[in-house]
Amino acid sequence: MIKVGYPAIYAPVILSDFPADVELVPLPDTSDHAIDIDVWIPDPYSVKAIQLWPQLRGVKLVLCMMAGTEWIPGLVGPHVTICNARGAHNVSTAEWTVSAILGLLKHFPFYLQMQQEGVWKRRFESPARYAAITGDHRVLYPPVMLEELTGKKVLLVGHGSIGQEIERMLAPFRVQLTRVARTARNHPEVHAVSELDSLLPQAEIVILILPHTAESDKLIGASQLALMQQGALLVNAARGPIVDTDALVEALRSGRIRAALDVTDPEPLPAHHPLWSCPNLLLTPHVAGSTPQFAPRALQVAAKELAHYLQGEPLENAVQLAV
């Protein structure tokens, strides 16, 4: 019988979708003895998983609960098949993305600060704040207190399952969407990432939701940030190293752009890192996927993939096949 090791913190009830003919083995955070399993579901926190790995024996298949698996191949080697949880975090991450965009366009961080200070008249600072970040110095009456998402020009960099869910959620806002992926394709039209620099100047909102690879490392650097128009909003729901942090800090401090980040480089972000104090920035600590539905959805994806594996069928989410 195939043994499937999973984090012991999960109650067996949320593994009810797994095939009945496998043995589910709860795994501790640490162990002082070897544990034999065939299939490994690592702890979502990679530090815990990496700590346990030296005690695991016989692993042939890794079913990761995350979309990102960049830390796993170097740990388990080439002779283990690795699958990610593609599709499990579409809703939560897409909701964070749309929420972050709306939060900044509606200037919620500023109004939260006003609320905490209890000073109503600070609302009259809004027009100047709007003019400073957007460069729109027209005389507008009544004065501008908020901005609208509807009709904005959005550049979606990454068009996998999460990117497609973001597009679905943006549809009611009737945004002008341009899609970018590793390679160009039609139906729907998707531009190649090699075209990114030519597309950046037209975008009012740039969303990053692509894997971190050697090719995407620091994809957004000083030159790309310089191409973005005054007041453009950069949203990173992907991985921190896709953006050059030093260049981003400089761009934020200059008042040229604004940003919403759920991921950073480095991560965790050190206490006194300059990002913490940057203006025009909404920062959350890599929590976009962290909802009560996280584990049940990810384990449902893993159970389905395991069923394919046991039947000798093609795997849907394989990111590495054993050699």
Q: Residue 134 domain-assigned?
A: no
Q: Residue 194 domain-assigned?
A: yes
Section 217-227 average pLDDT: 98
pLDDT score for 37: 98
pLDDT score for 305: 97
15 class by beta-carbon count within 10 Å (0-12 exposed, 13-18 middle, 19+ buried): buried
Q: Residue 268 domain-assigned?
A: yes
Residues classed as catalytic: 239, 267, 286
Judged against a pLDDT cut of 90, whether residue 314 lies above it is answered with: yes
Range of the domain at 70: 2-87+291-320
Q: Residue 99 domain-assigned?
A: yes
Section 79-103 average pLDDT: 97
Section 290-294 average pLDDT: 95
pLDDT band at 266 (very low <50, low <70, confident <90, very high): very high
The answer to whether residues 44 and 161 belong to one domain is no
Q: Residue 123 domain-assigned?
A: no
CATH number at residue 298: 3.40.50.720
The answer to whether residues 151 and 255 belong to one domain is yes
The answer to whether residues 172 and 270 belong to one domain is yes
> Per residue in 93-106, pLDDT tens?
999 999 999 999 99
Section 182-203 average pLDDT: 96
Section 115-132 average pLDDT: 97
Judged against a pLDDT cut of 90, whether residue 319 lies above it is answered with: yes
The answer to whether residues 270 and 297 belong to one domain is no
The answer to whether residues 167 and 225 belong to one domain is yes
pLDDT band at 187 (very low <50, low <70, confident <90, very high): confident
The answer to whether residues 208 and 239 belong to one domain is yes
The answer to whether residues 218 and 99 belong to one domain is yes
- Strands 81-83 and 318-320 come out as antiparallel
Q: Residue 46 domain-assigned?
A: yes
> Per residue in 54-66, pLDDT tens?
999 999 999 999 9
- Domains identified in the chain, total number: 2
Mean pLDDT of the chain: 97
The answer to whether residues 276 and 160 belong to one domain is yes
